[in-house]
């Protein structure tokens, strides 16, 4: 089977719709080293899958994805050379998602934060349960939003709003995110599956090649932008990986307290 060698992602078909599920529910689908590597190749496999025309991406359990796993962050602090692989995979996640010819629908069954938000926002159409929240709190853990957030947020909501949310790490309700154009639709949680299925079926019943090539035409500008920014933004993130503020934030998370950054530690 094409998707047999994945450990943290689950796959299911509904007609010509391929459902991909982030499957670490006990960790709110936080991305660890294994999931990160799998996300760097899954959209290539999905794009070439002969049994599907549409992709739906969602999370198992209560969350879409809570972003990077804290234990994995500590591993990269302890061995900064590991961030080179992470950066390479980070580019692959964004580039292969943009290169995936099939429409990719994000189904936010719960919160999408950090890398989880980045992946969701690079999808083509985003549906979220009204009780879900979305945001990019990289700065809350002393990290630069280098995994693609700096690329996609300004394209969706403008520079001023994007900088506000990326510099504060504040989360938005799904309703507010839909209101300002960050996502497409916020729907009652009980209706989420039916709404996404109906939209996926509408695309699946359409002119497949016209739909996919329309998507790829729109993505040309995004691909140019991503290629012009990702190396620099990931380099900044690599610098923040070895910063005292990042270690303090990881320590604070583990100790269930608020971090005290920089000179404020005094």
Number of domains in the chain: 1
- CATH assignment of the domain containing 221: 3.90.226.10
Range of the domain at 235: 1-190+208-266
Nearest to 10 by CA among 61, 51, 73, 47: 61
151 within some domain: yes
Partnered with residue 126 across adjacent β-strands are 106
SS3 63: strand
In a domain, 56, yes or no: yes
**pLDDT tens track of the chain, all 266 residues?**
689 999 999 999 999 999 999 999 999 999 999 999 999 999 999 999 999 999 999 999 999 999 999 999 999 999 999 999 999 999 999 999 999 999 999 999 999 999 999 999 999 999 999 999 999 999 999 999 999 999 999 999 999 999 999 999 999 999 999 999 999 999 999 999 999 999 999 999 999 999 999 999 999 999 999 999 999 999 999 999 999 999 999 999 999 999 999 866 55
Q: Which of 38, 102, 24, 107 is nearest to 70 (CA)?
A: 24
b/e per residue, 78-90, with b = 16+ CB within 10 A? eeeeebeebbebb
Does 202 reside within a domain? no
Q: Does residue 257 form part of some domain?
A: yes
pTM metric for this prediction: 0.97
Task: List C-alpha distances in Å: 185 to 11, 106, 181, 219, 231.
Answer: 24, 10, 9, 20, 31
How many Å apart are CA 21 and CA 156, to the nearest integer? 25
DSSP 90-122: HHHHHHHHHH--S-EEEEESSEEETHHHHHHHH
Instruction: Report the C-alpha gap between 20 and 251 in whole angstroms.
Output: 33
Q: Does residue 196 fall inside a structural domain?
A: no
Number of helices (H), then strands (E), belonging to the chain: the values are: 10, 10
Contact 10, 60 (CB under 8 A): yes
For residue 177, being part of any structural domain is answered with yes
């Amino acid at each position: 089977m094409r998707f047999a060698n994945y450990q943290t992602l689950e796959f299911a078909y509904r007609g010509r719709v391929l459902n991909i599920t982030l499957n670490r529910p006990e960790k709110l689908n936080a991305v660890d080293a294994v999931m990160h590597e799998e996300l760097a190749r899954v959209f290539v496999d999905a794009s070439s899958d002969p049994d599907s025309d549409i992709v739906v991406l969602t999370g198992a359990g209560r969350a879409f994805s809570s972003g990077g796993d804290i234990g994995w962050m500590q591993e990269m602090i302890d061995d900064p050379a590991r961030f080179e692989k992470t950066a390479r995979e980070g580019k692959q996640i964004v580039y292969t998602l943009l290169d995936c010819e099939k429409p990719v629908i994000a189904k936010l069954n719960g919160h999408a934060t950090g890398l989880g938000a980045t992946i969701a926002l690079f999808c083509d159409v985003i549906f979220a349960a009204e009780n879900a929240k979305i945001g990019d709190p990289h700065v809350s853990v002393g990290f630069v939003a280098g995994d693609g957030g700096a690329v996609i947020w300004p394209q969706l909501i403008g520079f001023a709003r994007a900088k506000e949310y990326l510099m504060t790490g504040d989360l938005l309700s799904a309703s507010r995110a839909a209101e300002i154009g960050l996502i497409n639709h916020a729907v009652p949680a009980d209706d989420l599956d039916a709404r996404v299925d109906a939209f996926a079926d509408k695309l699946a019943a359409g002119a497949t090649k016209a739909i996919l090539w329309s998507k790829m035409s729109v993505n040309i500008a995004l691909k140019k932008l991503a290629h012009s920014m990702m190396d620099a933004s990931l380099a900044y993130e690599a610098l923040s990986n070895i910063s005292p503020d990042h270690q303090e934030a990881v320590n604070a998370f583990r100790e269930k307290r608020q971090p005290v950054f920089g000179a404020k530690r005094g």
